[in-house]
């Protein structure tokens, strides 16, 4: 077909491109007004009051911090009680007035007030709270009906998707901000169950507990933290809705959480450890220690095992395992694939409940001095572990090893601390200082020159480290 009319042909091209551009731009909202108007009645402001006791200094002066007189003169202070208040956000998930917020918003609160639509205030009580995931469920004390919002599928939320946050920053209720999902599966060191959604939607103090909505008006995240203390810098973090829903449902039903429990301490599989264990690449979760009489102990899991798969879920990174275990039903029998002695094994484990477990508790104790010896290859001084160490630090019976008393500059294990205890090298128990020297010397004569060392740190947590020797 040949167009003889060039003007008509040009018009067709313009028409085609104009409407295609218009169509491709439809994903970019012209306005959030309609969405915000629909959602704002479901977002609430939360204020709390707490009584705190302080010591009032009777003297017209203060001693500088660290002064030997500081604590002495504190004793002469007069205790005084005063009320403190805090602000946060939340959202309604039931017409009966059930509200979701962060645990840190209401923790320790004596009185909780929930403000709806900027004017109506209702007292609220805590149905249940979970410090582990920083979630709390409140019930407003009223018979009124409310407009709830629903949870969306956070797994379908993609990096680059538009989101809006509605909350109560700095007490300025009914504030709407917009942005995109900047990243997924972020961990910032707040808890063991982190897989935050990162967003550049402006989040500030007072936004905590508020919802992060997708463009369908569904909650895909619960705003929890920001990077920095001075205010929003475009890096905020929200708990994914799919992670929160299970916890919220348990809090509503039981008033508490029921998380699965393996009974192991785990750590990352480093490149060095993968190399020593003949694993194809760094992956899985390395078992540093196993709690006595725990599900893992009963199933035969041992320190040094690498958990590769849990209940059909591949474990690529160590921090994936706690989240998966916690979301698995208590009492469920699961298959766990491990790597031990350069081959794959399968163990059947019946999960316990974390909240009723005797999980590991750190113990800080002073180490008694004894005769010390130098380990030249590691540039450290050590002494033999004794019975008092085992008793004072509540170590497992029969523990043997050496205590690090000094770490020289340039040591290949300079990242460790004095009072750490070396209990194994190359998966061989250390009974004497001579054992340690013999294993190191044998490794130095080998071609690999890499050590796998098992230690107890100063919190009495068992850990493995991989060390390259010169």
Q: Tell me if 167 sits within 8 A of 118, measured CB to CB.
A: no
| Closest C-alpha among 301, 399, 303, 314 to residue 352 | 301
- Look at residue 365 and tell me if it is in a domain: no
CB 381 within 8 A of CB 374: yes
Is 213 a member of any domain?
yes
341/397 same-domain check: no
The more confidently predicted of residues 468 and 177 is 177
Predicted pLDDT of residue 1: 47
What whole-number distance in Å separates Cα of residue 322 and Cα of residue 262?
A: 9
pLDDT over 80 (residue 59)? no
**Cα(424)–Cα(436) distance, integer angstroms:** 8
| CB-CB contact of 140 with 148 (8 Å) | no
Q: Are residues 378 and 433 in the same domain?
A: yes
Q: For residue 363, is pLDDT > 50? A: no
* Together in a domain, 48 and 133: yes
Structure tokens at 96: 């009966």
Catalytic residue among 47, 89, 134, 202: 134
CATH number at residue 115: 2.40.10.10
Q: What is the DSSP string of 350-404?
A: E-EEGGGS--------PPPP--EEEETTTTEEEEE--HHHHHHTTPPTT---EEE
If asked whether residues 173 and 250 sit together in one domain, one would say: yes
End-to-end CA distance of the chain: 77
The listed range with the strongest mean pLDDT (5-19, 39-53, 218-232, 351-365) is 39-53
Residue 279 shares a structural domain with residue 347 = yes
Sequential DSSP letters for 147-202: ----B--GGG--TT-EEEEEE-GGG--SEEEEEEEEEEEE--SS-TT--EEEE-S-
- Domain assignment present for residue 4? The answer is no
122 plus 173 within the same structural domain: no
- 134: annotated active-site residue: yes
pLDDT at residue 459 tops 50: yes
Residue 269 belongs to domain with CATH number: 2.30.42.10
On whether residue 14 sits in a domain, the answer given is no
Active site residue 104: yes
Q: Which two tokens stand for residue 3?
A: 């167009």
| 160 shares a domain with 226 | yes
Query: Is there a single domain that holds both residue 134 and residue 167?
Result: no
Which of 92, 115, 140 marks a domain boundary?
140
Number of domains in the chain: 4
**Which carries the bigger pLDDT value, residue 16 or residue 209?**
209
Residue 1 in domain: no
Query: Is pLDDT at 10 greater than 70 in this prediction?
Result: no
DSSP at 447: S
The answer to whether residue 8 sits within a structural domain is no
User: Residues 385, 429: one domain?
Assistant: yes
Question: Of the residues 208, 232, 241, 289, which is catalytic?
Answer: 208
Of residues 209, 210, 202, the one with CA closest to residue 227: 202
At 186 the pLDDT is 86
Extract the tokens encoding 85: 């208040």
Q: Are residues 350 and 378 in the same domain?
A: no
The pLDDT of residue 316 is above 90: yes
**Sequential DSSP letters for 225-249:** EESSSSS-SS-EEEEEHHHHHHHHH
pLDDT tier at 403 (50, 70, 90 boundaries)? very high
- Identified catalytic residue from 42, 47, 104, 154: 104
C-beta separation of 161 from 214 below 8 A: yes
Q: Among 25-39, 166-180, 374-388, name the one with the lowest average pLDDT.
A: 25-39
381 is catalytic: no
228: tokens are 């920095």
Q: HSE of 418 in the Cβ direction (CA atoms, 13 Å)?
A: 13
* Shared-domain flag, residues 274 and 245: no
* 3-class secondary-structure state, position 213: strand
Structural domain ending residue among the three candidates 230, 254, 278: 254
Domain enclosing residue 163, as ranges: 154-254
- Going from the C-alpha of 55 to that of each of 58, 79, 173, 317, the distances in angstroms are 9, 5, 34, 47
Segment holding 116, helix H or strand E: strand 111-116
Specify whether 91 is located in the same domain as 110: yes
Quote the pLDDT of residue 250.
Answer: 94
Classify residue 67: in a domain, yes or no.
Answer: no
Residue percentage of the chain with pLDDT more than 70: 83
Domain final residue, candidates 215, 234, 254: 254
Q: Does the residue 322 lie in any domain?
A: yes
Residue (of 141, 147, 44, 140) closest to 95 by Cα position: 147
């Amino acid at each position: 077909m040949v167009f003889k009319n060039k003007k008509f042909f040009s018009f067709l091209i313009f028409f085609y491109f104009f409407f295609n551009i218009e169509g491709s731009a439809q994903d970019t909202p012209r306005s959030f007004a309609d969405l915000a108007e629909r959602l704002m009645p479901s977002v609430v402001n939360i204020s709390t009051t707490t009584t705190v006791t302080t010591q009032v200094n009777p003297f017209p002066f203060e001693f500088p911090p660290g002064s030997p007189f500081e604590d002495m003169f504190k004793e002469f202070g007069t205790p005084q009680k005063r009320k403190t208040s805090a602000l946060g956000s939340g959202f309604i998930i039931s017409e009966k007035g059930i509200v979701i917020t962060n645990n840190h918003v209401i923790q320790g609160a004596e009185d909780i007030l929930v403000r709806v639509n900027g004017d109506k205030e209702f007292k609220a009580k805590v149905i249940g709270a979970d410090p582990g995931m920083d979630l709390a469920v409140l019930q407003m004390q009223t018979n009124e009906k409310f407009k709830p919002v629903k949870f969306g599928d956070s797994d379908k939320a993609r990096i680059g998707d538009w989101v809006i946050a509605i909350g109560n920053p700095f007490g300025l209720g009914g504030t709407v901000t917009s942005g995109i999902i900047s990243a997924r599966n972020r961990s910032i060191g707040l808890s063991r169950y982190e897989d935050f959604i990162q967003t550049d939607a402006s989040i500030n103090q007072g936004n905590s507990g508020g919802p992060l909505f997708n463009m369908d008006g569904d909650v895909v995240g619960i705003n929890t933290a920001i990077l920095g203390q001075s205010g929003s810098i475009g890096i905020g973090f929200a708990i994914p809705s799919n992670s929160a829903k299970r916890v919220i449902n348990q809090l509503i039903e039981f008033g508490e959480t029921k998380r699965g429990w393996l009974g192991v301490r785990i750590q990352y599989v480093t490149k060095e450890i993968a190399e020593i264990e003949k694993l194809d690449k760094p992956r899985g979760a390395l078992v540093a220690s196993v709690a006595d009489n725990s599900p893992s102990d009963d199933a035969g899991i041992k320190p040094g095992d690498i958990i590769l798969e849990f209940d059909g879920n591949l474990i690529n990174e160590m921090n994936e395992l706690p989240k998966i275990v916690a979301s698995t039903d208590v009492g469920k029998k699961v298959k766990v694939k491990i790597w031990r002695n350069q081959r794959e094994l399968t163990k059947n484990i019946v999960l316990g409940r974390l909240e009723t477990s005797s999980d590991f508790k750190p113990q800080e104790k002073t180490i008694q001095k004894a005769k010390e010896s130098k380990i030249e290859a590691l540039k450290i001084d050590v002494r033999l572990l004794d019975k008092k160490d085992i008793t004072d630090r509540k170590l497992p019976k029969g523990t043997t090893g050496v205590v690090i008393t000094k770490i020289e500059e340039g040591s290949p294990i300079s990242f460790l601390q004095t009072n750490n205890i070396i209990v194994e090298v190359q998966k061989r128990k250390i009974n004497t200082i001579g054992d340690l020297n013999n294993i190191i010397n044998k490794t130095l004569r080998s071609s690999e020159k890499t050590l796998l060392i098992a230690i107890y740190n100063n919190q009495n947590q068992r850990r493995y480290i991989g060390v390259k020797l010169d």
